[in-house]
Amino acid sequence: DLFQASSLVWSLGANATVPITSQKYLRAQRDAAVASHEAASAEYRQTVLESMAEVENALQGGAILKRRQDAQDNALIAARKTFELSRKRFSSGLVSFLDVVDAERTRLDAERAANAIRAERLALSVSLIKALGGSW
């Protein structure tokens, strides 16, 4: 029976027979394990902080790119209207063909800039997915 006096003495006797040198060895192992755990915890905390910073940077960059894209889309709408207007004015004989070519060049530049911003936003989306732990 476990609760009899003889079994309690037997249990205590087994624990007391551990050599003193083993206790020092076990204590050193425990200290090494604690130090290893603390180092791993610190590394984990650093990784989490870096990941959070990457996510925050991606979100801020996304907001900035969204504002740039909105402004560029407005510029593109204006450039398209200007191009169409210059074509109509050329058909009516009010402007030279050079004005039409210049308006088309402006429209193409605006489209190129809008596409470049869209590409930046897509690349930033991939960065955000990776920062959140996703894969591609």
pLDDT at 55: 86
pLDDT at 130: 84
- Which domains does the chain possess? 5-131 (1.20.1600.10)
Encode the chain (136 residues) as per-residue pLDDT tens digits. 555 555 555 454 555 555 666 888 888 899 999 999 999 999 999 988 988 888 888 888 889 999 999 999 999 999 999 999 999 999 999 999 999 999 999 999 999 999 999 999 999 998 888 888 876 5
pLDDT at 114: 97
pLDDT at 6: 54
pLDDT at 112: 98
The amino acid at 126: V
d(CA 25, CA 15): 16
This prediction's pTM: 0.62
pLDDT at 88: 97
Q: Residue 103: CB partners within 8 Å, gap ≥ 6?
A: 79, 82, 83, 85, 86, 87
d(CA 120, CA 96): 37
